[in-house]
Amino acid sequence: MTRFPTRHEVPEFTVFASLLRMTTKYGLSDVRNQLIKDVNGAYPTKWEVYHAAEVLGEDVFGSPKPHPNAVLNLFLEQNIRTALPFAAYRASIDGFLAIMSDTPGTVLPRQTLATTINGMHLVQVFMVKLACIIAYEGNLLAACADGKCVLSAGLIPVQRRKEALRTLHDALLVKRDGGELGPLSLGDLVCDMCAKGMHAAHVIGRSMCWDRLPSMFSVAKSWDDV
């Protein structure tokens, strides 16, 4: 028999799904709202909440961690609209094959499948453009005097500068934990001084991408409309 969890404690996903469906079926709105409230922090609607969160997406359900598609399907079924943009984004993180999963419970409805794939593409395009701006157009990257920094190549000869910027551009697009919206990690590629401006620009760019998530994944025009 499914038991209600301790207040503010998110149960394992199958238990959470069972409880959510039961509270919906029997009109237990207060309990249903509390269940939804307990996962709101892992499926945020505000950039500041996302940026500060320690647990995000399906990680909130502990082990065994559910497939992101299963969570997205549950939120669609239960009409938890505020969680849909980020749930769709989480479903897109591991790429096309993961979105196309045919494991029972993870098969997305045809329309959701299409909008999730399209949203994945739009996020990727946005982040590629951001990487180009930071590496090539942002006027952030003056020559660095630090011999260990990729930008120490300076402006002359031109070919060395081109190679350094190409290396930096590729590093900006390396797959990260949390997907494209995850924090930037450049390792030892650039020095602390050079990294500071790039991290700041990257955070601003990611926040702009965040603002577009509802429209990118065809949930709503903006977060205000979710």
| 3-state SS record for 12-44 | CHHHHHHHHHHHHHCCCHHHHHHHHHHHHCCCC
Give every CB contact of residue 114 below 8 A, 6+ residues apart in sequence.
Answer: none
Query: What's the total number of domains in the chain?
Result: 2
The pair phi, psi for residue 143, each rounded to 5°, is -60, 140
Both 19 and 104 in one domain: the answer is yes
pLDDT at 135: 84
| Residues of the chain predicted below pLDDT 70 | 1-8, 138-143, 145-148, 153-158
Residue 84 covered by a domain: yes
Looking at the fold, whether 101 and 173 belong to one and the same domain comes out as no
Domain boundary among 108, 135, 166: 108
Each residue's pLDDT tens digit, 130-178? 999 888 875 555 667 666 677 775 555 667 777 878 888 888 888 888 8
Q: State if pTM tops 0.85.
A: yes
In this structure, is residue 21 part of a structural domain?
yes
Residues 104 and 138 in one domain: no
Position 187 in a domain: yes
Residues 85 and 170 in one domain: no
Phi and psi at 218, nearest 5°, equal 55, 40
| 152 in the same domain as 82 | no
Domain holding 184, by residue range, is 121-216
